[in-house]
Structure 1
Amino acid sequence: MIHDDDKERFVQALLGWFSVNMRDLPWRRDYTPYRVWVSEIMLQQTQMERGVTYFNRWMGRFPDVAAVARAAENDVLKAWEGLGYYSRARNLHRAARLIMQEHGGVFPCRYEDIRALPGVGDYTAGAIASIAFQQDAVAVDANVERVFSRLFDIDTPIKEKENAAFVRHTAQSLLPRGKARLFNQALMELGALVCGKKARCPLCPVQQWCEAFRLGIVQERPVLTARKSIVPIEVATGFLVHQGRIFIQKRPEMGVWAGFWEFPGGCIEQGETAEEAVRREFMEETEFDVVPREKIAVVRHGYTTYRATLHCYLLELRGGSDVPVLHAATESRWVRFAELDGYTLPAGHRKLVDMMAGSLQWQWLQGG
């Protein structure tokens, strides 16, 4: 437990540890508001190593807010492809345009204005305000919640409203004035490197204040709410090839993967084979009568609460027109296999393309 007369010692121990153990991350080399903002949005739901790769690539493509604002949404989504949770990219794009229009291209520094940007919540606003502008704001992410749940032995679900309020209030009471940039990053770094899901207590610089460690129940904290069960689904899709080109269609602007390009397909219904499903889906979505030539791949991909198994076929038109009648998609194209790299695809479909690029069947996809 951290008593009032221990607060300064606690902070000194934490910051001393951070000064030695902080990771060399690209956004820590230059704390501009834009770089901090992009890193915080990108690291939501993204592992650090992957985030570093995408951050460097993003900065090469969009070096400042103006570059993001000028870009078409499809270009922004393409740069984001593979990170998932694409609403983050759309919100970055919307926020960049808002900054250009309402703030003259200058990233806002007031917490309230930062919080008002699309896609920015309490944590992200606090992180930007403290790390980029060195304001005395707290930034509580999952790492900080885990650290505090152990320090103070919080024995009810950490996401409960009263616990969230306690963590924010306590973090604010510990925050050393003028050092929020270091303090917030140190807490998050501690949660990432030492006080992770599998705690490394012997390495902890604040172990002496940890109530869960004193009680021997570190691995029982934090208490989590029950996770939603993963729902398995079976999906049939395919590469419809005609005159050396593959058919793709664009999803509606609302809903899952809004505005992405895809290969038609859908869930396999009860009592239906994958071949029957892919024929039905193409007929329902495009009115194409297709013939499965062969099954070429099975790919598994997880998203939100689903675990999808994609059964992919090489398909031919049985006959008739090669002009689709679209019932849900907004646009369609016949493209060469190599051109698919220029389109933003759902992650499962991108896996199919990458798999086929290294296979023998790709020559047939090229019309050979």
Structure 2
Amino acid sequence: MLNKKDVLNNREQLTKRAVGSLIGLAIGDSFGDAARMQANRENYGFITDFTSASAWSTDDTEFALLTAKTLIRCRGKLTSEEVVRSWMEDVVVQDEYKRGGASEKAAADNLRAGLLPPLTGKYSTFHMSDGSAMRIPPIGIICAGDPEKAIRLAQIEAEISHAGDGIWGAQAVAAAVAVAMADGTMDEIFEAALMPVPEDSWLFYNMKKVFEIIEYADYDIISSWMKMHDACRASTWATTAEAIPAAFGCLKLMNKDFKSAVVLAGNFARDADTIGAVVGAVMGAKYSIDGIPLEWAQKVRYPSGTCLQFTKGMDIVKTAESLAELNCTD
């Protein structure tokens, strides 16, 4: 992994990686959402592309843009108060959230009731969902080469809606993106992802179990695939301890290029949009926008505002460029 100084010395590459990560998240979101649709399963079984027109976006992309908006407004000086301000302005004010996650809806209700973080995250049935991990990559982007900082900021952002595994999953993804932004090796990315996760947690147990399955199968996808699903399956598919090990398992099996990794992750089924979004964010940071198919990037550049209305038509590229600049504000 490059050190922080080396990362900052190549501003052009830093910006390309930032754009790659945020665009990659949006691609993984749309791809995974398309792959899990029953019609696509019936028609193709395994899909290799998604919509021929502009892609739709789900809460994965749009809540990530909320995180990005918060970071840009506060110039990376993230506090719980800044997170609450954003949620009050852009989440709580909405009457409904089409395609929105249960953890985010619960957090909005808690804010309306007058609660503040960390209670807004703790007092929720859905505090262990993967909703925090899907929206956290912007923090990894602004912490290029500094996974420890990414872990600290991820807790501040995630605790508005999550607790326990829900926070540790967000920290794992943020740290992984931070290392990928600094051209870290895959081993360094996996090491960073495990760093904030307590060894007695459900998330850690499933991460290690999935990695062991893959290593025992000598990284063979066919031999690992169904065993991975069985090993980390939870009662609901949007659980951190299922989706995040699935995402990192896909990354361990396929990481030679962006497209192959996202295709594999998007076809995982279950919470495939989040699994795809996490893989897309990490691979986009590692290989930059230069490693992403142009036609895929064009499909997702302007979100549909399906969940959060303020995101409709936002330019993901310009947002990512603004995030990249925050690496230079320490």
| TM-score above 0.5 | no
Q: Which has the higher helix share?
A: 2
> TM-score, normalized by length of structure 2?
0.28
> TM-score, normalized by length of structure 1?
0.25
| Greater RCO (Cα-Cα under 8 Å, separation 6 or more) | 2
Larger radius of gyration: 1
